[in-house]
């Protein structure tokens, strides 16, 4: 899914567009299976009782609440989180009902680092650390293919610096 072109400047192009790594969805999927399996088992235990309709209704309500809260909400949160590198800036957008975002112009980025532990290396993700004019470095967790993203961001920062330098020489 491409980032909406209407949110970009005239000569701005998307270099990288990522959602967080799929490892964020492992726990919600496990919860889905546990709730479905546990609910089915509890429904089978309630079936021979005289109050089985009320018990099944209560199980359905509790199961639905758990699935919405612990499975659907994280999936929607994952889907609506965007990490975007363009030719002019680094953008992060997240949130479902209340959206928040961070934009860092390429000219303000001082350094770019990444780190990933053993499990992250196996899964192909990591944390991207961006130091800018802000007080503290910004850390973006669970970036898929973090080494490649790091390289592309570093390349864009250097190209932006070269463009600024070349523009200054024309004056």
Is this structure's pTM higher than 0.75?
yes
Average pLDDT for residues 42-71, to the nearest whole number?
94
Average pLDDT for residues 56-65, to the nearest whole number?
96
Contacts of 156 (CB under 8 A, 6+ apart): 15, 85, 87, 106
Mean of per-residue pLDDT scores for the chain: 89
Average pLDDT for residues 45-69, to the nearest whole number?
94
**How high is the pLDDT of residue 32?**
97
**How high is the pLDDT of residue 169?**
47
Integer Rg of the chain from CA = 23
Antiparallel, parallel or unpaired: β 14-18 and 82-86 = antiparallel
Average pLDDT for residues 149-170, to the nearest whole number?
73
| pLDDT tens column, 70-116 | 999 999 999 999 999 999 999 999 988 898 999 999 989 999 999 99
């Amino acid at each position: 899914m491409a980032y909406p072109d209407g949110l970009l400047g005239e000569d701005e192009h998307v270099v990288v567009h990522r959602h967080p790594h799929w490892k964020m969805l492992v726990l919600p999927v496990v919860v889905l299976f546990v709730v479905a399996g546990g609910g089915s088992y509890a429904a089978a235990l309630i079936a021979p009782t005289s109050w089985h309709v009320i018990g099944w209704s209560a199980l359905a309500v509790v199961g639905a609440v758990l699935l919405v809260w612990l499975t659907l909400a994280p999936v929607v949160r994952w889907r609506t989180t965007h990490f975007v590198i363009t030719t002019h800036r680094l953008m992060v957008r997240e949130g479902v009902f209340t959206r928040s975002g961070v934009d860092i112009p390429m000219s303000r980025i001082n350094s770019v680092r990444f780190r990933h532990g053993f499990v992250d290396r196996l899964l192909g993700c990591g944390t991207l650390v961006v130091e800018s004019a802000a007080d503290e470095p910004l850390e973006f967790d669970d970036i898929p293919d973090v080494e490649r993203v790091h390289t592309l961001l570093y390349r864009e920062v250097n190209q932006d610096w070269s463009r600024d330098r070349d523009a200054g020489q024309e004056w």
